[in-house]
Chains A and B, each alone.
Chain A
């Protein structure tokens, strides 16, 4: 076995420094034994990956009935929902500053990045602070009120097929009148947020007509201290089609 055989796997994985990699490549051109070994290593590597993929598929299939009994289908996406809620929570914090303005401030918007184009933080900041509202409210709404020690937010995310072509996340903040307490909640949502269901939910995870209501409690530092998700069956949300 030649001296290069010990470097074949590292070379295959692209882990060798450029100079060493070049030497290995030159050696492979002239060494049939190493080419054969490399092919065997590649085959073993692929077989291992395929075996583990099949194991995962098999486990998922075998465990699916039990998993459905133990957890709702939408449970795997709780993290995604929580992440979206964090955005809403963040938007809540900006409300007081808007309330204090003398001139009516109707709207502000933050448009989250798409998968193919993630804006820089400065771009997102510019969007958050200066962009006019052009967002269309689709399927979710949020009502919020401030308490002495904590903020509570309510988010509803509804599965809507037509949102698949929408931006990944479209959030709309509509600053309305001052909100003093839970009893004085505005008739219309103070904040409306639209999140395409397929941005967070795996295919088939959310049955048609099911939405989620999330209650989140904020700590003094703005982090989410408590999160409670509840599924709800909803009728068609007509607000989604309003101009």
Chain B
């Protein structure tokens, strides 16, 4: 019986370790994932739902013996695909003027944002809207701390393409905003 206990205990311990790691990842990456999802067009509510789905998928992925390598990239990729499936909301994020957001950025509740002047913010918002979808996504994922290689995995493009896209996007913003 003790042998049976041992044989059962080892995989259970691995599962317990993975579960604890999932919880740690949830605490660490929930906000960056929400930021990414909101920024590519999902509502706050939709983003919350997607993040839940993504972490439940991660739990199933690990329980099924899925690869534990580069989980952060995996999470972003699944989140990206789930967001894609909600295509109706996908394009609306940067399609309209963001006056409310600009006011929010200048609000007293966010003093760190107030260092950016209103007119510059408007120009920045306009410049962001002029970026291609791929350029915006590359910058968003880059802002989430992903390496070019990981961004390429999420978006399904070559690492060199990511580098070119990031460079093009940053130069566009820099030139059009004069920030």
Taking Cβ atoms with an 8 Å cutoff, the residues of A that contact B are 6, 9-10, 13, 15, 40-41, 43-45, 47-64, 66-67, 70-71, 75-76, 78-80, 82-84, 86-87, 90-91, 93-94, 97-98, 100-102, 110, 112-113, 115, 118-119, 121, 124-129, 168-169, 171, 199-200, 202, 222-224
Contact = CB atoms under 8 A, between A and B. Distances in A.
6 closest cross-chain pairs (CB), A and B: A79-B55, A128-B13, A112-B20, A63-B44, A58-B104, A125-B13
B128 to A, nearest CB: 7
A87 B8 contact: no
Contacts, number: 221
Interface residues of B, number: 70
B113 A171 contact: no
Contacts of B55: 79-80, 82-83
B26 A83 contact: yes
Interface centre among A59, A94, A121 (most CB of B within 10 A): A59
B174 A40 contact: yes
Contacts of A121: 13-14, 17
Given A125-B9, A199-B23, A113 B17 contact: yes
Given A40-B174, A62-B100, A127-B13, A200 B38 contact: no
Interface in B152-170: 163, 166-167, 170
Contacts of B10: 125, 128-129
Interface string B100-113: 11001100001011
Given A45-B170, A121-B13, A128-B10, 18 more contacts: A10-B163, A54-B104, A58-B101, A58-B104, A59-B44, A62-B100, A86-B63, A87-B15, A87-B16, A90-B12, A97-B4, A100-B4, A101-B2, A110-B16, A118-B20, A125-B10, A128-B12, A129-B6
B60 interface: yes
B160 to A, nearest CB: 10
Interface centre among B19, B35, B128, B147 (most CB of A within 10 A): B19
A9 B48 contact: no
Contacts of A102: 1
B124 interface: yes
A118 B24 contact: yes
Nearest to B98: A55
